[in-house]
Chains A and B, each alone.
Chain A
Amino acid sequence: MPDVTIFDRLRIERLVWSLDQQLYDLPRAQRLANRREVRANLLEAAHDVGTTEALRRVGGSRQLAEQYLVAEFGDGPRPSWIGAIYAAALLPLLLNFFLSEAANAFESGVTAADPQATGVYVWSGVSGLQSAITYTFSDGAASHHGGAWTPLTYALWLLLIVGAGRLWRLRLRRRPALAAS
Chain B
Amino acid sequence: MTDTHDPQLLKGVLSLLLLHLLAEHESYGYEVVQRLQAAGFADVLEGSVYPALTRLQREGRLATRLVPSTSGPARKYYRLTPAGREALASGTDSWARHISAVDTVLSRPLPASAEGS
Contacts and interface: CB of A to CB of B under 8 A. Distances in A.
Interface of A: 30, 33-34, 36-41, 43-45, 47, 54, 57-60, 63-64, 67-68, 70-72
Residue of A57, A59, A60 with highest tally of chain B CB at under 10 A: A57
Contact of B76 (A33, A60, A72): A33
Chain B interface extent, by class: 20 to 34
B74 interface: yes
Interface stretch (B17-25, B45-53, B94-102, B107-115): B45-53
A38 to B, nearest CB: 6
B75 A45 contact: no
Interface of B: 28-30, 33, 45-48, 50-52, 54-55, 58, 69, 71-76
Contacts of B73: 36, 39-40, 43
A30 B51 CA distance: 12
Given A58-B45, A58-B47, 5 more contacts: A33-B76, A37-B76, A40-B76, A41-B28, A45-B33
Give me the 10 closest cross-chain CB pairs, A-B, nearest first.
A59-B47, A71-B55, A67-B51, A71-B51, A40-B73, A41-B30, A43-B72, A41-B29, A68-B51, A58-B47
